[in-house]
Amino acid sequence: MNAVKNLGILQMAAAYIFIVILLFIVRRRGINREKEILISTLRMTVQLILLGYVLTYVFNNVHPLYTILIIVFMEVFAIHNTFKRVRVELTPKLKKTIVLSLGLGTLTSLAYFLIVVVSISPWYDPRYFIPIAGMLVGNSMTGISLGTVRLVDSMKNNKHLVENALMMGATPKAATRDIVNNAFDSAILPTINSMVGMGIVSLPGMMTGQILSGTPPLTAIEYQIAIMLGILGSVSLTVILFVQMGYKTFFNKRLQLDI
């Protein structure tokens, strides 16, 4: 199997022609996105270059402390990004629920995947821990963001229905059952949809990277199947924890709707 082909500076520079094409299109169409495109491109480049140096150091100096610091940073950034991406008002109780759900859901799924599925030793091996953690946390962040928006919007838009159910003697859990189920369904649907076309419509990034680096295709596919199931499990666990605890934040101690 051939070794991976390194990209030179000129080849990397040539890849940025796609940004130039995009800038030309948005300017020609009168779409005011030039600044956002340039900033996002610059941030991506700088962040990935810095990450490359960090990972090189961590891979050459394996220590559980470095791995723990990186997963803590991932979780904190994911929580911060969730708060920033969600365009609805979040109460302090709902923010605490997001923190608890995202942390517990992703760490539980990650521990199971690394110990049971991959069976790495030591558990903090950064070559496995960091990329797998990044995929689980990143997808769970997207899932909980979607679930949060749907839960908050649905609770506000269907306030009268929930109140009517409460007046008829329903418990908060029963009165919000459909809302909770819809929020959960909306949050996991993108992950399920991505699995449907995988291998036919698209080749996943992880599998593509492994193949380009010289890994046999069947081995790369085995890892891709496992990681996709891990992602689905992490997203599902994170979101179900959130919606099951999240709906309770809309009620006071007397089980009255408080929106």
Residue 73 has pLDDT above 90, yes or no: yes
At 133, the amino acid letter reads A
Mean pLDDT of all residues in 101-119 = 95
Enumerate the H helices of 197-252 as residue ranges: 205-212, 217-246
pLDDT of residue 174: 94
| Residue 251 confidence class, pLDDT cut points 50, 70, 90 | very high
pLDDT of residue 176: 95
Least confident of 145-149, 162-166, 215-219: 215-219
| Residue 157 confidence class, pLDDT cut points 50, 70, 90 | very high
The SS3 call for residue 198 is: strand
Q: Which residue has the higher pLDDT, 244 or 216?
A: 244
Average pLDDT value for the chain: 90
Residue 165 has pLDDT above 90, yes or no: yes
In our burial notation (b when 16+ CB lie closer than 10 A, e otherwise), range 200-216 reads: eeeebebbeebbeeebe
Q: Which of 61-66's residues contact partners 24+ apart within 8 Å by CB, and which partners?
A: 62/122, 62/124, 62/125, 62/126, 63/124, 64/122, 64/124, 66/126
Residue 119 has pLDDT above 60, yes or no: yes
Q: Residue 142: how many CB atoms within 10 A of its CB?
A: 18
| Residue 9 confidence class, pLDDT cut points 50, 70, 90 | confident
**How far apart, in Å, are the Cα atoms of 44 and each of 41, 73, 137, 139, 141?**
5, 17, 18, 18, 18
pTM, to two decimals: 0.86
The answer to whether the peptide bond before residue 126 is cis (omega within 30 degrees of 0) is no
pLDDT of residue 203: 63
Residue 7 has pLDDT above 80, yes or no: no
| Residue 156 confidence class, pLDDT cut points 50, 70, 90 | very high
Mean pLDDT of all residues in 52-76 = 94
pLDDT of residue 94: 95
Nearest 5°: CA angle at 144, between 96 and 98? 5
Structure-block tokens of residue 118:
């991959």
Mean pLDDT of all residues in 8-23 = 92
